[in-house]
Amino acid sequence: MTELLHKKLTEDIIGAAMEVLNVLKPGLDEKLYENALVIELRERGHEVEQQKRFPVTFKGHLIGTLVPDMIVDNTVVVDPKVVVAFNDTHLLQMIGYLAKTELDLALLLNFKFAKLKWKRVIRTHEMEQ
């Protein structure tokens, strides 16, 4: 059996998200969970960059800016959601974030219900061809 990519870090992020959900309870705005998660992760000793900006270019021209919700330890893109279920749009967004940030792992976290849901999204270099 293969080891999960960044297993310890993702376990820490999920644990922090569970703590946030246990304290705040479900039903709040995504931004509130995001802000609380930043605090919880920093208290646990992680470096968190919130709303880091990445330029997006097309044929050498700047066409806009990509702004993931957070990046933890310069390793994992984290995107808190409050949705009924993750869908293809969420997954494709994470694939795009991974391509532009050049990171290999994104973690979708869903704070909609009393039990936290999460989804790991891994960048494959085949996607970039």
* Structural domain total, the chain: 1
Predicted model pTM: 0.89
61 within a domain of the structure (yes/no) = yes
29 within a domain of the structure (yes/no) = yes
In the predicted structure, residue 125 carries a pLDDT above the cut 70? no
**Residues 124, 68, 112, 24, Cα dihedral to 10°:** 130
In the predicted structure, residue 127 carries a pLDDT above the cut 60? no
Contact indicator for 98, 111 with CB cutoff of 8 Å: no
pLDDT in tens, 27-63: 899 999 999 999 999 999 999 999 999 999 999 999 9
2 within a domain of the structure (yes/no) = no
27 within a domain of the structure (yes/no) = yes
Looking at residue 123, its pLDDT comes to: 87
Q: 11: which 2 tokens?
A: 């376990």
Give me the DSSP letters along 61-120.
EEEEEE--SEEETTTEEEEEE--SS--HHHHHHHHHHHHHHT-SEEEEEE-SSSS-EEEE
Looking at residue 4, its pLDDT comes to: 79
Average pLDDT, the chain: 93
78 within a domain of the structure (yes/no) = yes
Give the orientation angle of helix 30-43 with respect to helix 7-24, to 10 degrees.
120
pLDDT in tens, 66-82: 999 999 999 999 999 99
Looking at residue 129, its pLDDT comes to: 42
**Domain of 77, in residue numbers:** 7-123
In the predicted structure, residue 2 carries a pLDDT above the cut 70? no
**Nearest residue to 121 via CA among 1, 4, 2:** 4
- We report the CATH number of the domain holding residue 107 as 3.40.1350
